[in-house]
Amino acid sequence: MAATGSKWRLDRPAEGFDAVVPSLETSPMFRTFLPECYEPRYAYPLLVMFHAHGSNEEQVLDLVPRMSRRNFVALSLRGPELMGVREDGHLACGWGTDDKHVGTVNEYIIKAVESVRRVCNIHTERIFLVGVCEGAAAAYRAAFAMGDRVAGVVSLNGGIPKTPTGEAGLDFAALKPMRFLIGHGIANTVTPCAVARQDYKMLYAAGADVRLRTYATTHRLHQDMLNDVNRWVIGALNADTDRLSQVR
């Protein structure tokens, strides 16, 4: 990533959900969250949220204030596969189980990030992809395809996409600049905790900076998971600051 910040406005965009960021004519809808006491002169980290299978961009963005109301700007994406309408009247969407949507999703991410940067001051070296349940596979795919555009990946109750033979369907040569946080419920029967442990071992063996945390929960997200996402992102920012301060 070439720049440490973006062009930013001196006025203060509205805090909360759905800041004034236009939807994209050529891409699905996305939503945004601006933190409380937004400071235009500060280059914020950006969380890019990937929802679970059968969910949508509205529901996953609701998680961000539970992580922190002050520390991040966030945007949430809508999966490219439409699966109908949920009982609550909201769209049910998915990301697919293979690589056929990777190019479309990556273009969608880039355009969405560019749109947010027109309104908010975003630190371009602090963009983190956060995947929830099945959305974690989409976050991993996007991160590995986008390389150094992404600072890190958070997987919550999800896993690295696998080939039909059970092998990781990703090029691990692209991961070294990234950090990874894996948060997983120990009683998760949808995606067993053994999957998270295997993902951790693969990333660690490939030389990645990876952390694994387990929680007393099932496939449902635990509040401690969300607290740890906040701590991990802030810790990554502090580590970068410490590293740069040592450069002579």
Give the model confidence (pLDDT) of 145-178 as tens digits. 888 889 999 999 999 987 655 566 566 766 667 8
**What is the per-residue burial (b if ≥16 Cβ within 10 Å, else e) of 24-63?**
eeebbebbbbbbeebeeeebbbbbbbbbbbbbbbbbbbeb
Which domains, and CATH codes, for the chain? 16-245 (3.40.50.1820)
Give the model confidence (pLDDT) of 74-130 as tens digits. 999 999 888 898 888 888 999 987 777 777 888 889 999 998 998 899 999 999 999
Question: Is 9's pLDDT higher than 80?
Answer: no
Assessment of whether the complete model's pTM goes beyond 0.95 = no
At 177, list the tokens: 């600049």
Query: Do 117 and 95 form a contact (C-beta atoms < 8 A)?
Result: no
Query: Do 111 and 103 form a contact (C-beta atoms < 8 A)?
Result: no
Q: What is the pLDDT at residue 27?
A: 52
